[in-house]
Amino acid sequence: MDFILQPWPWYVGGPLIAITLLLYFYFGKNFGISTNFETLCTISGAGKISEYFKKDWKERDFALLFVMGLIIGGAISYHFLIPNQSIDLNPKTVQELQEIGFTNVRESFFPAEIFSAESALSLKGFIILVLSGFLVGFGTRYAGGCTSGHAITGLSSLQLPSLLAVIGFFIGGIIAAWFIIPLIF
């Protein structure tokens, strides 16, 4: 049981991702999460409003099962495998996060300054969530897929657009982490 409760090393997680990806390729499927939003919109009747969503959602039912597995696995992990586990962060990272206003950074993967109900219901928090959601949705649509789809499926099948998208994701992440987040908080 101790093995499951510890963080798994790269040489376990990496091959598991590779095996999953090989199975997707073998069965002629692509891996990615963002397409599931399209599928959910299609299921909910968005095809009545936009031609874009007039698709057969049953062609992507396997992906919905994958997302359900992610949600269930995350819930099991959060509630049973990592309760009260402190986060092992570099002391310099902790200091820098505290300097911009984050407290208890070693106690939770989800800082209360962003993820608490109080923060989300404030004007600043609401604007951040709506703007962030819009930018993620727009970026995913503009890039033709999400980070997992481009970084895992696209790069493993040697697609140049995926390489460019992943480079853009990293640049955007660096800009957000070093400039935007410190300005906001």
When comparing pLDDT for 5 and 148, which is higher?
148
Instruction: Answer whether 149's CB lies under 8 Å from 141's CB.
Output: no
CA dist., res. 86 & res. 64, Å (int)? 32
For the stretch 76-92, pLDDT in tens is 877 777 666 667 788 89
Q: DSSP string of 112-147?
A: HHHHSHHHHTSHHHHHHHHHHHHHHHHHHHHHTS-H
Over residues 103-123, the mean pLDDT reads: 82
Over residues 64-68, the mean pLDDT reads: 85
pTM for the model: 0.66
CA dist., res. 33 & res. 126, Å (int)? 24
Over residues 88-106, the mean pLDDT reads: 85
